[in-house]
Amino acid sequence: MEWINKMNEALKFIENHLNCKIDYCEVAQIGCCSLTRFQRMFIFMADITISEYVRFRRMSEAAKEVVESDIKIYDLAFKYGYESPESFTRAFQGFHGNSPSGVRKSGQYKIFKPIVFSAHLFQDCMLMGDKPVVRIEEITEETAIIFCAKSDTPEKDAWNKMRRWATKNLNDYSARRYFGYAPMGHHPNNSSDNEHEYISTMLLTNDESHDTSIFDLNTTSMPRGLFLVGDVVLNEFDEDGNIDIGESMKSSSQVIYQCMLELKDYELDFDNRTYLEEHLFPREWFIEENHESMQIERKFWLPIRKIMKT
């Protein structure tokens, strides 16, 4: 898949520049994503930070050179970006459990191999290692309460209505699941008019789902069917490290679509449904005055259906 290939191209760039100062912004550009997303994606895939990975690879390669050549420790330290032989030796011993001279004498050292990312299918999930980056979810009989807004800022307006209602009527508001969607799209018919409709929803518990109203609000059924859901690690960020919703929707949809093609038995289903945005609100978002400046993680749900085989 293209997005994995781009990540591996970024890793190849790192591998070819271990003895240089690495510009992580350039690495992220090769991976076709923002620096923040690249860093998050790397931790998600590798369980270590990108800076730790570079340090481990440098220490592994440095030890190999110590054993296989007569390079001076002074030269090796500066080759791998350390300001002094002493700082290099401390880092080397911390990683290998032995000094450079000790490793040269024994020939024994810790090997940290280059990482190559790959993905595989397991039970309708696309896994990176053992972590699902995209998975299939089904909405069946879930009910919800909704707030609608139609304005130039409908998302903000709809979620503020939900926030005020939830904090007034619920004690467990931060434990609930929240979804939003624009029934006609964020720019219906490719219109340049910013005014559009947006709906914020909160799923009800099993006990509540049998009621026709909750605290004077009518309940309604959620859009039903199958969805491909992308993990929050697919969120995109701007240069300041803030979530870029437009780019997140675009890049997440691209990854999810590529995963759907790998699944083979599914296709997109936008005939009668639209994509959903699951909002993961922290408790602080509901109660603090600066809630509008908070970074809210999102999972994007793309509607799909089984391909009917003839």
Per-residue pLDDT of the chain (310 residues; tens, 9 = 90+): 788 899 999 999 999 999 999 999 999 999 998 999 999 989 988 899 999 999 999 999 999 999 999 999 999 999 998 989 999 999 999 999 999 999 999 999 999 999 998 888 887 788 887 888 899 999 998 999 999 999 999 999 999 999 999 999 999 999 999 999 998 776 555 555 678 899 999 999 888 877 788 888 889 999 899 999 999 888 888 887 788 888 888 888 888 888 888 888 889 998 888 899 999 999 999 998 888 888 899 999 999 998 887 6
The 10 Å Cβ neighbour count of residue 86 is 11
Helix (H) or strand (E) holding 231, with range, is none
**pLDDT at res. 304:** 93
What's the token pair of residue 134? 């995209």
CATH of domain 2-106: 1.10.10.60
Please state, in angstroms and rounded to a whole number, the distance separating the CA atoms of residues 147 and 139.
Answer: 19
Domain ranges of the chain: 2-106, 134-306
Please state, in angstroms and rounded to a whole number, the distance separating the CA atoms of residues 218 and 215.
Answer: 8
Q: Which DSSP state fits 18?
A: T
- Cα→Cα distances 99→53, 79, 91, 111, 266, Å: 20, 17, 9, 15, 56
**pLDDT at res. 195:** 85
CATH of domain 134-306: 3.20.80.10
Residue 111, classed as helix, strand or coil, is coil
Asked if the domains at 2-106 and 134-306 fall in one CATH topology, the answer is no
**pLDDT at res. 252:** 87
**pLDDT at res. 213:** 82
What's the token pair of residue 293? 């400046």
